[in-house]
Amino acid sequence: MIALQDNSSAVVSPGIYPMLYAFFDDRGVLRQDPFRRQVDAALGTQAAGVAILGLGTEVSKLTFDERIEVLEVVAERIEGRKPLLATVYGDTITEQIEFSKRAIQSGVSALMLQPPSQKMDDAKLAGFFSEIISAVDCPVGIQNAPEFLGFGLSNQSLIALANDHENFTIAKLECNAVNLESVASELGDSVMLFNGRCGLELPDNLRAGASGLIPAIDTVDKTSEIFAEFTAGTEERADKLYADLLPVLCFIMQGIPHFLTYGKMLAAARLGIELGGSREPSLPATDFGAACIRRFSKHLGPLN
């Protein structure tokens, strides 16, 4: 078993955990400082913690060493002040366990396992995850996003994993609030359920049983405020704040390539980060798209 080190961060609790973007220079080299800037911004909001190395971090474009680099840079910047969730990417059980070991040593609060790139049926994927979860002595979750990844686990397999593994405590979905409610009703209280999709349907996700969301960082000040208002019992206020943010979310969440191009552009504008270059494959921005982002950035204001 992999023991959780004493330098671990805080315990994962309900709330908003913004996924950080990966920024590259004009040659496609990964930049470190934008991660520090994003961490500082997240810690200055009502976000519950920070998430890294998911789809928003373009994890599939990063080497193993680059993923370790991101992990260490972000963990050092957070210094245990808030929980850190790290997605575990890899095509083999051995690779995912090795990364998990490094992540735990760096002080992550929880791991989020992502399916391998090669499609598996439900039983084989459940076995893949089960072996990794058994080898890791810390809170573990699964990113179950067949809508974006092409395949995933059935509700029955999620429930079985929760029953078989005490440390399987988190699941992240990428679905609408109606589908999330059906999963939440079957899973019960044993697993904290999060959704993504940039924060779309945020109040209704909470009504459906979500513990929070893992959206991107570009609107974390707004999404964390909405969560705070909703959980404080002022749902009408939360709904109004969400209605104001909705045009931005609808523009950004138009598929993963669109989200990566324009969500990152919005984050750069609000954070004062040079946008830089990209890694292929990527969706080129259009003049019209960039103009929309400038308008949204002006409306939302700086993210300090």
Q: Is the peptide bond before 281 cis (omega within 30 degrees of 0)?
A: yes
Lowest-pLDDT choice from 183-197, 206-220, 272-286:
183-197
Instruction: Check whether 159 is labelled as a binding-site residue.
Output: no
**Residue boundaries of the structural domains of the chain:** 15-300
In which band, very low, low, confident or very high, does the pLDDT at 188 lie, cut at 50, 70 and 90?
A: confident
Contact 133, 140 (CB under 8 A): yes
Helix %, strand %, coil % of the chain (to 5): 50, 15, 35
Architecture of domain 15-300 in this structure: Alpha-Beta Barrel (3.20)
Q: What does the pLDDT read at residue 6?
A: 39
**Per-residue tokens: 185:** 């009703």
Contact 151, 119 (CB under 8 A): yes
Distance between CA atoms of 205 and 56, rounded to whole angstroms?
A: 20
What does pLDDT average to over the chain?
94
Q: What does the pLDDT read at residue 281?
A: 95
User: Which pLDDT tens digit goes with each residue over 91-124?
Assistant: 999 999 999 999 999 999 999 999 999 999 999 9
User: Which pLDDT tens digit goes with each residue over 33-92?
Assistant: 999 999 999 999 999 999 999 999 999 999 999 999 999 999 999 999 999 999 999 999
Q: Is the pLDDT of residue 4 over 80?
A: no
| Cα-to-chain-centroid distance, residue 239 | 23
Lowest-pLDDT choice from 5-9, 140-144, 183-187, 292-296:
5-9
User: Of 50, 46, 22, 43, which Cα lies nearest the Cα of 34?
Assistant: 22
Q: What does the pLDDT read at residue 187?
A: 86
Q: What does the pLDDT read at residue 2?
A: 35
Q: Is the pLDDT of residue 162 over 70?
A: yes
**pLDDT above 90: percentage of residues in the chain:** 89
Distance between CA atoms of 190 and 176, rounded to whole angstroms?
A: 21
Q: Is the pLDDT of residue 300 over 60?
A: yes
